[in-house]
């Protein structure tokens, strides 16, 4: 085995960054050299030298490994969680942190990045078949792929080992996404207090995602349309999900009327023995939110609304499946039932591909199937009559 050597290379500037070239100090003493990114190119050389000294000290003492030989757990803790994970949405961060602590670190923490090969990850996921629910397997794959993509981006790996991965078969029975009928929806609306009832109303009659509903501002509300500019999800403001999602959609007059009505409403909130009245719209300037938290006027949390107001009302009606996604799916389904053409439904749902609209959101309901069968029966009867008349002639 080759000896571990003391290293004291000089930083060099290339492109927009300072770099440091070191020997890859893996467990077998490999002579392969690696480049470490130190700092932006406009940083003074003396500051760069200090950074280089800090990085070289643990390397020379044999405390860390560099490049593909770096420990997976160290990469996740020192680089991924500090540099790449904060770039994701809060809900995605929470999901990935759970997958990392429960599944990925226990399995891969002691391996170097170069030891995580395509075969290694394929064996790991193949062993989950039947032991781990498929939705969890999918989330583990997403979390691990995010980590390994970051390793590629940071020049620790040349290629993501998850490319071409085959997950175990999803053997769950295929179930259509639940939808709510207009009659059920109106019953639900009666049991939900304001402003949450109006949020339900806007969701189901526009097809907006709940993050887009929460992010609506008064400048986005027009006489016969709504413009989607931003979305808010559990503490994070961001652009709409896709470029097609940032659009203006037509809405029915009753939707605009219901939104404007919020400006005149107040609700009673109990505070100890006292009852305080709160305006639902504290301020209605162009940059103010349409749906404001009752007490402080801040952006709302979709999970809290669902858990505290919508789920209890839905369960009282025997509609335990109702959630925000169900309302969006119902909107597309109602459009199809009403006879809207596929292209119009796609535009209203703001999907990039029409297949997404029709395959995922526009659910076929029994009533539509019955009508199709009735049309088939009528067609068969007419064809039979024509055939007999030709035979008689």
Q: What confidence tens digit (pLDDT) does each residue in 110-153 have?
A: 888 888 999 999 999 999 988 899 889 999 999 999 999 999 88
Find which of 163-167, 331-335, 340-344 is predicted with most confidence, using mean pLDDT: 163-167
Lowest mean pLDDT among 169-178, 308-317, 362-371: 362-371
Q: Are residues 192 and 236 in the same domain?
A: yes
Q: Are residues 317 and 197 in the same domain?
A: yes
pLDDT at res. 1: 37
Q: Are residues 308 and 225 in the same domain?
A: yes
Q: Are residues 137 and 236 in the same domain?
A: no
Inter-residue contact 314 to 341 (CB < 8 Å): no
Q: Is residue 314 part of a domain?
A: yes
Residue 28 pLDDT > 80, yes or no?
A: no
In angstroms, the CA 13 to CA 15 distance is 7
282, 299, 322 — which closes off a domain? 322
* Range list of H helices, the chain: 45-60, 72-75, 90-99, 105-108, 118-126, 134-153, 182-191, 196-206, 210-214, 253-261, 302-305, 311-316, 324-337, 342-349, 354-356, 366-392
Could you list the residue range(s) of the whole structural domain that residue 60 is in? 12-69
Spatial neighbors of 118 by CB under 8 A, at least 6 apart, are 161, 162, 163, 164, 165
Which token pair is 305? 């609304």
Q: Is residue 364 part of a domain?
A: no
Residue 231 pLDDT > 70, yes or no?
A: yes
pLDDT at res. 29: 45
Q: Are residues 195 and 112 in the same domain?
A: no
pLDDT at res. 332: 84
Lowest mean pLDDT among 27-36, 256-265, 368-377: 27-36
Spatial neighbors of 217 by CB under 8 A, at least 6 apart, are 229, 230, 286, 287, 288, 289, 290
Q: Are residues 203 and 106 in the same domain?
A: no
Confidence of residue 261 (pLDDT cuts 50, 70, 90): very high
pTM above 0.75, yes or no: no
Q: Is residue 144 part of a domain?
A: yes
Span 33-55, mean pLDDT? 83
Per-residue model confidence as pLDDT tens digits over 345-364: 787 888 877 766 666 555 55
Q: Are residues 126 and 216 in the same domain?
A: no
Span 89-108, mean pLDDT? 91
Number of domains in the chain: 3
Q: Is residue 285 part of a domain?
A: yes
Residue 89 pLDDT > 90, yes or no?
A: no
306, 322, 338 — which closes off a domain? 322
Q: Is residue 3 part of a domain?
A: no
Higher confidence at residue 203 or residue 35? 203
322, 343, 377 — which closes off a domain? 322
Confidence of residue 309 (pLDDT cuts 50, 70, 90): very high
Q: Could you report how far apart the first and last alpha carbons of the chain are, in Å?
A: 99
272: left (phi over 0), alpha (psi -120 to 50) or beta: left
pLDDT at res. 359: 62
* Range list of H helices, 16-64: 45-60
Q: Are residues 145 and 198 in the same domain?
A: no
Residue 217 pLDDT > 60, yes or no?
A: yes
Q: Are residues 112 and 242 in the same domain?
A: no
Q: Are residues 41 and 143 in the same domain?
A: no
Q: Which CATH number covers residue 300?
A: 1.10.443.10
Q: Is residue 300 part of a domain?
A: yes
With tokens 């004291």, the residue in question is 8
Confidence of residue 368 (pLDDT cuts 50, 70, 90): low
Q: Are residues 226 and 147 in the same domain?
A: no
Query: Of all helices (H) and strands (E), which one includes residue 40?
Result: strand 33-40
- Residues in a beta bridge with 35: 21
Q: Is residue 392 part of a domain?
A: no
Q: Are residues 298 and 191 in the same domain?
A: yes
Q: Is residue 173 part of a domain?
A: no
pLDDT at res. 100: 95
Other CB atoms within 10 Å distance of the CB of residue 109: 14
Confidence of residue 159 (pLDDT cuts 50, 70, 90): confident
pLDDT at res. 372: 64
In angstroms, the CA 135 to CA 198 distance is 32
């Amino acid at each position: 085995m080759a000896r571990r050597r003391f290293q004291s290379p000089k930083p060099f500037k290339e492109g927009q960054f300072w770099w440091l070239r070191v020997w890859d100090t893996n467990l077998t003493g490999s002579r392969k050299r690696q480049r470490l990114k130190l700092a932006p190119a406009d940083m003074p050389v003396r500051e760069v030298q200090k950074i280089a000294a800090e990085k070289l000290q643990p390397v020379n003492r044999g405390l860390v490994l560099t490049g593909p030989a770096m420990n997976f757990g160290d990469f996740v803790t020192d680089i991924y969680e500090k540099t790449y994970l904060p770039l994701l949405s809060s809900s995605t961060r929470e999901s990935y942190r759970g997958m990392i602590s429960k599944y990925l670190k226990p399995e891969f923490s002691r391996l170097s990045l170069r030891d995580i090969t395509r075969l290694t990850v394929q064996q790991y996921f193949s062993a989950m078949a039947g032991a781990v629910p498929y939705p969890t397997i999918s989330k583990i794959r997403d979390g691990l792929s995010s980590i390994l993509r970051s390793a590629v981006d940071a020049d620790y790996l040349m290629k993501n080992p998850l490319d071409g991965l085959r997950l175990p078969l999803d053997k769950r029975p295929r179930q259509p996404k639940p939808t709510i009928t207009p009659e059920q929806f109106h019953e639900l609306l009666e049991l939900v207090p304001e402003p949450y009832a109006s949020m339900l109303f806007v969701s189901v009659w526009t097809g907006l995602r709940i993050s887009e509903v929460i992010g609506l501002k008064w400048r986005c509300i027009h006489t016969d349309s709504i413009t989607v500019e931003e979305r808010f999800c559990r503490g994070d403001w961001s652009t709409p999900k896709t470029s097609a999602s940032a659009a203006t959609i037509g809405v029915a007059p009753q939707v605009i009327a219901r939104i404007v009505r919020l400006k005149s409403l107040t609700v009673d909130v109990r505070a100890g023995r006292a009852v305080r009245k709160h305006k639902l719209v504290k301020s209605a300037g162009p940059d103010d939110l349409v749906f404001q938290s009752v007490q402080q006027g801040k952006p709302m949390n979709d999970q809290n609304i669902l858990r505290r107001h919508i789920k209890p009302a839905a369960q009282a009606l025997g509609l335990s499946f109702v959630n925000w996604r169900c309302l969006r799916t119902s909107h597309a389904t109602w459009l199809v039932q009403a006879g809207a053409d596929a292209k119009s439904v796609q535009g209203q749902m703001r999907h990039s591909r029409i297949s997404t609209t029709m395959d995922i959101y526009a659910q076929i309901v029994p009533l539509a199937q019955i009508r199709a069968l009735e049309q088939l029966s009528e067609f068969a009867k007419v064809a039979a009559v024509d055939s007999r008349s030709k035979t008689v002639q």
